[in-house]
Chains A and B, each alone.
Chain A
Amino acid sequence: MKVKEIMERAGTVQTGRAIAYIKDALDEMNILSETHVTTERIDITKDQRFYDLPQDCVKILDIRCKHHNNEDSKYRSIPRSIYEPTIVDEDGS
């Protein structure tokens, strides 16, 4: 559906305001029900703990690591730690 059609249905002619709200709606939709999904692979570097999230990430759905609990180089979901480890990060980030 075109943006113009959505604006007509909502009864507005203010394009700038409508576009801003529709962008909010798209974010909200993806937070609530993940309509558009993609994956990104990043190298794990020895002694580097922190990695940047992709800039277009709205909601994280799954974090997987290669070799996690397997010897077949497969990707498996990894658990989220509630606490930070007592061994601090060596790269100081």
Chain B
Amino acid sequence: MAAKRQYGYYIKGNKIAIIERGVGSGVCSLSGYSNQTTCEAAGGTWTENAASKDDGEWMSPIATVADGLEIQYAYSPEYFIKETDDTNTALDTYKSTGGYLILEDTGSDNFSASPESLADGSYIVLRNAGRWNGLHKVSAAGAGYINTYTKYSGTGAAIAFEETVTLYYGVDVFIDESFELDLSRYQANAVVYYLKAKMAEDSLDMEAREFFLREFKRQLEKGNSALKRGPYIIQGFKEMR
């Protein structure tokens, strides 16, 4: 059975800080005993805590946990993956060369050949790639490497990905008028209002700007509330999940 842990987090700049609380020196098989002497005197079995941190203070994580942190987040749909099984999972390291992100496969898979057929100007989407999740523009590709236009200030030595990275190569990208937004019609109408608001702002028509921004929010809220049936009868709070 895995040890019970207690975590917390805070945000610092563009990073998330994970902290863990020291969790006592061990566990008694009987309830109500918090130290080894009294536990064993009462006939219980004392199990030492693997973490061996017992001061109850918050500190950096006490132990390594594979896949220990899960971040749920919202992202902007500026791309559309055409077929979710058009993937490659060979990438295993990344590095910085000349200030750009380079993705590598030590198995020397040729990314410029079919089916990926990547070249200058192609787009890829990465998943399970930690900080590199999302859309990247390719500058060059070949046997065992993909060079990107993504800026990266880091080491020139290869760093291994923590997970098996999924690379999607069949991607439509929002670069021109032909792109179909992955939105419902209702949400797309909200975008129209936003665009009108920004155009009014550019022409210094602040009254129209305020009107269209209000319509944008109203349209968005109407679309959201349409998915919820009935009245709200519970007052929630953040920890109630």
| Partner-B contacts on A (CB < 8 A) | 1-7, 9-12, 15, 18-19, 21-73, 75, 77-82, 84-87, 89-91, 93
Contact = CB atoms under 8 A, between A and B. Distances in A.
Interface in B156-210: 162-163, 174-183, 185, 187-188, 190-192, 194-196, 198-199
B134 interface: yes
A41 B69 contact: yes
B58 A29 contact: no
B235 interface: no
B195 A31 contact: no
Contacts of B163: 41
Contacts of A5: 188
B239 interface: yes
B178 A43 contact: no
B234 interface: no
B64 interface: yes
Contact of B64 (A9, A44, A56, A62): A44
Contacts of A72: 1-2
A10 B128 CA distance: 37
Nearest to B135: A56
A46 B71 contact: no
B4 interface: yes
B224 to A, nearest CB: 5
Interface in B224-241: 224, 239, 241
Contact of B8 (A18, A53, A79): A79
A52 B66 contact: no
B107 interface: no
Contacts of A55: 131-134, 150
A51 B134 contact: no
A73 B70 CA distance: 13
Contacts of A36: 74-77, 182
Given A10-B196, A19-B176, A32-B217, 20 more contacts: A1-B180, A6-B181, A10-B199, A21-B195, A22-B195, A23-B174, A36-B76, A38-B72, A44-B69, A52-B14, A54-B132, A56-B76, A57-B74, A61-B72, A65-B65, A66-B70, A67-B65, A77-B239, A82-B10, A87-B59
B220 A40 contact: no
Nearest to B1: A71
Contacts of A41: 67, 69-71, 128, 163
A36 B5 CA distance: 31
A70 B95 CA distance: 37
The 9 closest A-B pairs by CB, nearest first: A56-B134, A44-B68, A52-B131, A1-B188, A85-B58, A25-B194, A54-B133, A4-B177, A49-B60
